[in-house]
Structure 1
Amino acid sequence: MSEFCEEMVTELLSREKRNLIKNPHGAEQFEGWEITKNGGSQWRVEELPGDCGKEFPDETVQSYFATSFELCLKKQVLDLRAEGYSEELLDTMQPKIMVQDWYAGRSDCGCIYQLCVSLLNESQETVQEFKPDPVSLEPENSDCSWSQVTHTFEGYGPGVRFVSFEHGGQDSKYWDGWFGVRVTNSSLEVQP
């Protein structure tokens, strides 16, 4: 292995595995998040398990973000260089970028969940994107337990400098209040 590659591996391994998403479950309300759609009664933070909800699998998570009767979306754009990952490391090693999100519905109302995670270049243009089809949750077909979605970006090529993480949804009955999808414990990690 060349000295340059060894330096890159050392740099990557020296980074502590950490979640780059700020305020992943609303402990600081919406600090760190940009609200991109705030429909209906707008976003709000609620304590677990919430009305007609289930406990979260990790008892250290105490709250979640609740959506309303029109589309609610929020996002974070993460600057990988500001987080300590050099351009050389990102371009040469192209470390895995792992994304995780959790969502749940209520036992009294259907809802829709959506997620879009994009790797962006210097100009914040999309290099690669993970955008699964929206998920419809109906109480008759689901026990409303928390579900996890994960994705790993690999071999994305040189030039990635930012990651955009956007998620949210709404309820499917247009009820006033916060009957839409719930999201919490989002994470984004750069791994060797």
Structure 2
Amino acid sequence: MLKNLIRNPCGEEGLDHWQDIHNGGDGWKVENDVGIPKYPYHMKYFAASFQQCCKTQVIDLLMQGYSEEELDTQPNIMISDWYATRNDSGSSYELQVQLLSDCHNLISEFNITYMAIPESDFSFNQVSHTFIKYGPGVRFIKFTHGGKSLKNWKGWYGVRVTGSSVTIN
């Protein structure tokens, strides 16, 4: 099994290891499974509020034990994230994963800039992407995701995210 380079991917440690970019409304909250169908493999998830919430994690690949030579062979980099909305409020969801050089210059990226999730589709869904042939020089991976409620209700009616993953093969 490949090692997940994302630390605290489903909120077992609260918001540890994540940096807030936007902490709108009531901010992020970690919740336990409250009956959302097709729940992946974790019992906790991050819930966004009624204004934009966005959090990020930067992975230093050299600190993770990868050598420059190994990284410059351009191994496949797989990313994955699970997202859902509530059955009483639609949500927006966004995801950005950037492959960065040692100076944090952009080498390649994958984006979902805005996805509206209707309240009728409140099962967890997975988004995944594999970076291939992206060029040499990758030393960092920046994983950012977030969203908000489409109804602007106070509380945590926004997107739910869990099971975030970055692996190298």
Band the TM-score falls in, shorter-chain normalisation: over 0.9
User: Aligned residue for 1:74?
Assistant: 55
Cα offset, 1:86, TM superposition: 0.3
Residue among 135, 149, 154 paired with 2:127: 149
Identity of aligned residues (%): 47
Q: Which amino acid counterpart does residue 131 of structure 2 have in structure 1?
A: F
Matched residue of 2:81: which SS?
strand
1:21 paired to 2:21: no
Corresponding residue pairs, total: 169
Instruction: Please report how far the alpha carbon of residue 23 of structure 1 lies from its aligned counterpart in structure 2 after TM superposition.
Output: 0.3
The aligned counterpart of 1:57 is 40
| Unpaired stretches in structure 1, ≥5 consecutive residues | 1-15
Instruction: Tell me the TM-score normalised to structure 2 length.
Output: 0.96
- 1:65-96 Cα offsets, whole Å, 9 max, x none, are 000011000010000010011001111x2100
Deviations 1:49-72 (A, max 9, x none): 26xx335132xx110000001100
Match of 2:137 in 1: 159
Q: Which has the higher strand share?
A: 2
Other-structure match for 1:137? 117
TM-score normalised to structure 1 length: 0.85
> Quick check: 2:91–2:119 contact (8 Å CA) kept in 1?
no
Measure how far apart 1:17 and its partner are: 1.7
Structure 2 CA distance for partners of 1:127 and 1:149, relative to 1, 3 Å = same
Instruction: Determine if contact 1:117/1:129 at 8 Å carries over to the other structure.
Output: yes
Listed as ranges, the gaps of 5+ residues in structure 2 are none
Partner of residue 83 from structure 1, selected from 64, 81, 92? 64
Q: Report the 3-state secondary structure (helix = DSSP H, G, I; strand = E; otherwise coil) of the residue aligned with 1:41.
A: coil
3-state SS in 2 of match to 1:40: coil
Q: Could you say which structure has the higher helix fraction?
A: 1
1:6 alignment partner in structure 2: none
